[in-house]
Amino acid sequence: MNAHANDYSTNEMMTVAASRRLGNGNVCFVGIGLPSKAANLARLTHAPEVVLIYESGPIGAKPSVLPLSIGDGELAETADTVVPTAEIFRYWLQGGRIDVGFLGAAQVDKYGNINTTVIGDYHQPKVRLPGAGGAPEIAGSAKQVLIILKQSHRTFVDKLAFITSVGFGEGGEHRKQLGLPGNGPVGIITDLCIMEPESGSNEFVVTSLHPGVTREQVIENTGWAIRFADDLGETAPPTEHELGALRALEARTAAAHGQSGGDE
């Protein structure tokens, strides 16, 4: 049963919509924060056989609470196995064994390129961000990539100050010309909508609005002239099962860590 419009937050809608993009049995390389929350929600609902891999080495992690970092012991304790980080990247990722890379971002552009390095001039930045971590390699080599972040003029920008992780580069065939083996980002999921790359140009266009969200809201919160698909849809609202699993996960995390995890 679907939840009522007033029964869930925009953040919950974003997390649920993102979780639905993971298929049962997918091998998923997970980023900490929002990607981890969405991926674990998928595992707890429609995709119990999803294989979650984290940069620190856990394979098949099944945390009962959301990890604070890739070094969180909960990941190793619940994993099927733990291998060296070098094996995660060389054998699993670069070996073509990762179905989905699930990434967050500080900023993204119309071609799915990600910035997690700096805001402003690189040498004298306004803000120094957390940095790349394993995201450039995940974006480059995973068979496909999902990106999740809240949408605003600050996060959806016309030109990135720094490209940390390549999506489709300058659009069109640029990613292939760069020689990147993965297929690139297939979806950007926000608290307002879902975007997917347009065939040919690989520019991200809105394919689904979340319930109650207008085109004008999306336009106001995007730093480029965002376009909408001809067959624009509406995202199905969260079900009671999805919301229940998400809220229980957040409650367990809050009890363990004093925070719900994955909110940024």
Amino acid at 152: S
CB atoms within 10 A of CB 64: 14
What pLDDT does 258 receive? 78
Do 80 and 95 touch, CB atoms closer than 8 A?
no
Distance CA 234, CA 80 (A): 37
**Per-residue model confidence as pLDDT tens digits over 231-261:** 999 999 999 999 999 999 999 999 998 766 5
Predicted TM-score of the model (pTM): 0.95
Q: Nearest-CA neighbor of 234 among 213, 250, 212, 210?
A: 210
pLDDT tens digits for 41-59? 999 999 999 999 999 999 9
10-254: CATH homologous superfamily? Glutaconate Coenzyme A-transferase (3.40.1080.10)
Structure tokens given for 50: 């999803």
Low-confidence residues of the chain, pLDDT below 50? 264
Query: What integer pLDDT is reported at residue 5 of this predicted model?
Result: 54
pLDDT at 170: 98
CB neighbours (10 Å) of residue 46?
A: 17
From start to end of the chain, where are the E strands? 27-30, 51-53, 58-59, 81-82, 100-103, 107-108, 114-115, 118-120, 125-128, 144-148, 185-189, 193-197, 204-209, 228-234
Residue 173 known to be catalytic = no
Do the Cβ atoms of 70 and 54 come closer than 8 Å?
yes
Rounded Cα–Cα distance for residues 208 and 229 (Å): 8
Which member of 55, 203, 242, 250 is catalytic?
55
C-alpha–C-alpha distance, residues 202 and 185, integer Å = 9
Domains of the chain by residue range = 10-254
Q: What is the pLDDT of residues 138-163, one digit of tens each?
A: 999 999 999 999 999 999 999 999 99
